[in-house]
A and B are shown apart, each in its own frame.
Chain A
Amino acid sequence: MAIEIRNVEKTFGAFTALGGVSLDVRSGELLALLGPSGSGKTTLLRIIAGLDHADAGEVSFDGQDTRDRAARDRKVGFVFQHYALFRHMTVFDNVAFGLRVKKKAERPAEMDIRRRVDQLLTMVQLSHLATRYPSQLSGGQRQRVALARALAIEPKVLLLDEPFGALDAKVRKDLRKWLRHLHDDMHITSIFVTHDQEEALELADRVVVMNHGQIIQVGTPAEVYDHPADSFVFDFLGGVNRLNGVIEAGVARLDGKAVRVDGAVGADGPAVIYVRPHQVELGVAPAEGVPEGKWSARVSSLHAAGPVARLELDLAGRALEAQLSRDRLSDLALEVGSWCTVDFRHARVFPAKS
């Protein structure tokens, strides 16, 4: 099912949670709403579910306005951040809940409910725990029960609020993969909220980056990572070096030397050059002077555990982080205190905020 969101606004007292947001969710896609806390992503999710009401704007499912459809009639599967499992019910009864509360005329026979719940529990690999209570499960298992419960009502949309937020790192990774496979099998339109850029980039078909109640950028993970719309997105999507420079006559300069940048340069004035650590190119320092168009830096610390080496460099008093392969590091024979040349493969420049 496709979802269209048009000019949705929501305020809580003086706080603007959503300031006129529009978005098209394509049928069958897995979409991530990514942003820092307070960016409005959870509010948007709750409005789609019907758990909150928008002050203005509309949300339609397949072209039908949902304003007059109560949450209980929307057929939306919602997985809560802390799962909201019913503590006094077994895993089985939790999953069966949505089927058992249907009106008599629509309620499946108890046999059919049983079969359907068994099916779902098999799918989330929890058949052996059907008679347990939520308090007897691990975090990852609770999460899967919550998912099975949401899927039991055959929702047209699946909404997940910080689905992996309460889990530890290892479980989180496994569950992420598992959810991706599940989505590929079922093709149900799914939206999840997260503040973890890695999660969004790895799991989603498309990522919606939000900040201060606005949508900043929508695109595939590759698009938003490689072509961030602005400095906020650049910053938010992973480690980045920020170097203070200037724009002069349409050329970005760092310590007087021109920096090759992608995209628009912008108006003259103070500017910040953004470059990701793995886009920093290091070279052997020549015996004398600095080569044309490059900078010179000294290694101030070095972490070489794992396949990638991380270096902290001192570039004329600025801290600069670089990443390179262990092979490249041994080719360069760098150690703490040694000098090297610096160049930037891909950089972006944005005007400095006053």
Chain B
Amino acid sequence: MPADPHSRRPAVGEGPLTRLALIGLAILFLAAFLALPLVAVFSQALAKGVGAFLKSLTDPDALSAIRLTLTVAAIAVPLNLVFGVAASWAIAKFNFRGKSLLLALIDLPFSVSPVISGLVYVLLFGLHGSFGPWLRDHGVQIIFAVPGVVMATVFVTFPFVARELIPLMQEQGVEDEEAAIVLGASGWQTFRLVTLPNIRWGLLYGVLLCNARAMGEFGAVSVVSGHIRGKTNTMPLHVEILYNEYNFVAAFAVASLLALLALVTLAAKAALEWRFADQIAAAKR
């Protein structure tokens, strides 16, 4: 077994047996909870052969679900990106009263059940919601339509970019920006030429996580979407519908696409962490 960081310190560290047992236990636990579900998704998807797998993916409803998922992410992610940059600029670069309250409020969506994240919009814009009748009279539909799906997704993915950027920008301090301004740069030039390059990898990291959640969100979207096939079904919802119809191959086929997305996200995340660790985490430079 290659050297571990403690091997040069003979006084500490466990005996080889304990070590082996712990590693074995960890691997067994992770295999049961992480590897097995992944294997299950792909094996079930291909249970009836590649033909059935591809047929489920090219089904018009599946295609429409894929399209909607991409559309929703394409709207929600940029919105939360802009918000994340604005919030972290205000919070990390300035000192103002009530900063920790603002920070706590930004984290709020993390501690709200996805179902409630959808429910709050139903109560506002649904047919029996506070603005429901008014919206109906003006011919606008939000709940059981795409706008509702977008809103619920925005709510759920709200903190992701800000959460990555705030500690990073706090750790970088304001010296670089001050230097740029003393050298004569305008506010916009300072942001574009100095701040943005400093946070670009952290930003990408946040966008990656935000996007994974936006494409995969189920609970919140499920409440507002109305599950209208070909119209308001995203991929995770389509998985549920197919599964509940006992169409397991199709359900797992669509699920395997989402699992693939998760794997790609993890790979990109690991690559970013490995290559730009110092520019992502608010850690030692």
Touch A–B, Cβ below 8 Å = yes
Chain A residues near B (Cβ < 8 Å): 49-51, 71-74, 76-78, 80, 82, 84, 86-89, 97-98, 101-102, 149-150, 152-153
Interface residues on B, range: 10 to 19
Q: Select from chain A the residue with minimum beta-carbon distance to B200.
A: A88
Task: Give the A-B contact count at a CB cut-off of 8 A.
Answer: 61
B264 to chain A, nearest CB (A): 27
Q: A72-B181, A80-B175 are known contacts. Are A101 and B193 too (CB-CB below 8 A)?
A: yes
Give the residue of A49, A72, A89 whose beta carbon is less than 8 angstroms from that of B184. Answer: A72
B189 within 8 A of A: yes
B93 to chain A, nearest CB (A): 13
- Which residues of chain B are near A150, meaning CB under 8 Å? 182-183
- Which residues of chain B are near A149, meaning CB under 8 Å? 179, 183
Are B176 and A86 closer than 8 Å at their CB atoms? Answer: yes
Are B180 and A97 closer than 8 Å at their CB atoms? Answer: yes
Give the residue of A49, A50, A97 whose beta carbon is less than 8 angstroms from that of B193. Answer: A97
Q: Select from chain A the residue with minimum beta-carbon distance to B196.
A: A88
Are A88 and B197 closer than 8 Å at their CB atoms? Answer: yes
Other A-B pairs beyond A86-B179, A101-B185, 18, CB < 8 Å = A49-B182, A72-B181, A72-B183, A72-B184, A74-B182, A78-B178, A78-B182, A80-B175, A84-B175, A86-B176, A87-B198, A88-B198, A97-B183, A101-B180, A101-B183, A101-B184, A101-B186, A102-B184
Q: Select from chain B the residue with minimum beta-carbon distance to A155.
A: B182
B127 within 8 A of A: no
Bound-state CA distance A152–B181 (Å) is 14
- Which residues of chain A are near B183, meaning CB under 8 Å? 72, 97-98, 101, 149-150, 152-153
Bound-state CA distance A80–B194 (Å) is 16
Q: Select from chain B the residue with minimum beta-carbon distance to A146.
A: B179
Q: Select from chain A the residue with minimum beta-carbon distance to B178.
A: A51
Chain B residues near A (Cβ < 8 Å): 175-176, 178-186, 189, 193-194, 197-198
Are A72 and B185 closer than 8 Å at their CB atoms? Answer: yes
- Which residues of chain A are near B197, meaning CB under 8 Å? 86-89
A104 to chain B, nearest CB (A): 12
- Which residues of chain B are near A101, meaning CB under 8 Å? 180, 183-186, 189, 193
Q: Select from chain A the residue with minimum beta-carbon distance to B177.
A: A84
Bound-state CA distance A73–B194 (Å) is 19
Bound-state CA distance A152–B179 (Å) is 13
Bound-state CA distance A89–B196 (Å) is 12
Bound-state CA distance A149–B179 (Å) is 10
Q: Select from chain B the residue with minimum beta-carbon distance to A78.
A: B182
Are B179 and A78 closer than 8 Å at their CB atoms? Answer: yes
9 closest pairs, A vs B, by CB? A98-B183, A84-B179, A84-B175, A101-B185, A88-B197, A78-B182, A101-B189, A72-B181, A72-B184
- Which residues of chain A are near B181, meaning CB under 8 Å? 71-72
Bound-state CA distance A101–B180 (Å) is 9
Are A72 and B198 closer than 8 Å at their CB atoms? Answer: no
- Which residues of chain A are near B185, meaning CB under 8 Å? 72, 97-98, 101
Q: A97-B193, A101-B193 are known contacts. Are A71 and B198 too (CB-CB below 8 A)?
A: no
B90 to chain A, nearest CB (A): 19
Q: A87-B198, A88-B197 are known contacts. Are A153 and B178 too (CB-CB below 8 A)?
A: no
